[in-house]
Amino acid sequence: MEYPFVRPKYYYSLFKDIVGFVKKPENREATEKSTKFKVYDTIGLFVVKILCLIPISILVGLIHDPENLTKSSMAERFSPLMLLLVTVLILPMVEEVAFRLSLKFKPIYLALTSGVFLYYVLTKAVFGTKISAVDETFLTRIVLSIGLVLLLYPLLNMKSISKKLAEVWTNHFRSIYYVSCITFAWIHVFNYEFNLMNLLFLPLITLPQLMTGIISGYTRVAFGFRYPLFFHMATNLIALGLSLLPFAD
């Protein structure tokens, strides 16, 4: 097991772990694994994700492949260095806090997730702008989101409320995990033109994001928050690098 990356059975075992977790999600950390093997498995799961995304991407491209407006917009709005900072550092952190941090319950986790998710809702549904856009609505979005965190944290930290919520997470973790995956996937519909055709094909065009949500959610629960964050950053870095190649179109 010193060099697991050269063994096909290693990736197959990781794939089986993911399938088993999706069938029966359990809020249990893999305490039997060392940090080294958590890193190994995170990298291995990244490879599994890429292998799964190849047929999914081909399927999406053949059936319905709308233009991703966010990518072209970001490339126009940012310099290469700023694009790297936003794409590889800031956005992964924002998305992981919003959709994965609270898979493990703590009052501070849920308060932060609620605040960041409010930022998403205000940005996409209320103001119809971009997550990374610093425009006339940015201050409003930031202030309201931070305000929600500051309001919720002392409330959620009350012993009686915290205890009740911990029980909800224990008893209904399966639903929480599924909702997290689907919400993460479907909120990416705002990356495309908002029309009837894209809404009808929503489950299809967000399949890549659903795959990411499934694997990242498992990684967060089993290994800890920094592992899916690394996973997300690596994914965005590779995608950004590929998008800059001459044949990217």
Could you tell me the two tokens for 39? Answer: 């890193």
Residue 7 pLDDT level (bands cut at 50, 70, 90): confident
Lowest-confidence pick of 10-19, 28-37, 51-60, 137-146: 51-60
Could you tell me the two tokens for 140? Answer: 């409003």
Model pLDDT for residues 124-176, shown as the tens digit of each residue: 888 988 888 888 999 999 999 999 999 999 999 999 999 999 999 999 999 99
Model pLDDT for residues 207-234, shown as the tens digit of each residue: 889 999 999 999 999 999 999 999 889 8
* Residue at 78 is within a domain: yes
How many structural domains does the chain have?
1
Residue 197 pLDDT level (bands cut at 50, 70, 90): confident
Residue 54: give the domain boundaries.
Answer: 4-101+174-243
Q: ∠ CA(102), CA(177), CA(230), 5° rounding? A: 60
* Residue at 232 is within a domain: yes
Backbone torsion region of residue 34, taken as left when φ is above 0, otherwise alpha when ψ lies between -120 and 50, otherwise beta: beta
* Residue at 187 is within a domain: yes
* Residue at 65 is within a domain: yes
pLDDT at 1 over 80: no
pLDDT at 28 over 80: yes
Centre a 10 Å sphere on the Cβ of residue 182 and count the other Cβ atoms it contains: 16
* Residue at 125 is within a domain: no
* Residue at 117 is within a domain: no
| Residues, the chain | 249
How many Cα neighbours within 13 Å face the side chain of 106? 8
Choose the most confident range, by mean pLDDT, from 80-94, 197-211, 219-233.
219-233
Q: CB-based contacts of 94: which residues, under 8 Å, 6+ apart?
A: 116, 119, 131
pLDDT at 71 over 70: no
pLDDT in the model for residue 247: 52
* Residue at 140 is within a domain: no
Q: Where are the alpha helices (DSSP H) in the chain?
A: 8-23, 35-63, 69-77, 80-85, 91-99, 107-121, 138-156, 159-171, 173-186, 196-200, 202-205, 207-223, 226-243
Amino acid residing at 225: F
pTM of the full structure: 0.87
* Residue at 149 is within a domain: no
- Percentage of the chain modeled with pLDDT above 70: 94
Backbone torsion region of residue 128, taken as left when φ is above 0, otherwise alpha when ψ lies between -120 and 50, otherwise beta: left
Model pLDDT for residues 43-60, shown as the tens digit of each residue: 999 999 888 888 888 888
pLDDT in the model for residue 246: 58
Lowest-confidence pick of 12-26, 182-196, 232-246: 232-246
Residue 69 pLDDT level (bands cut at 50, 70, 90): low
- Percentage of the chain modeled with pLDDT above 90: 53
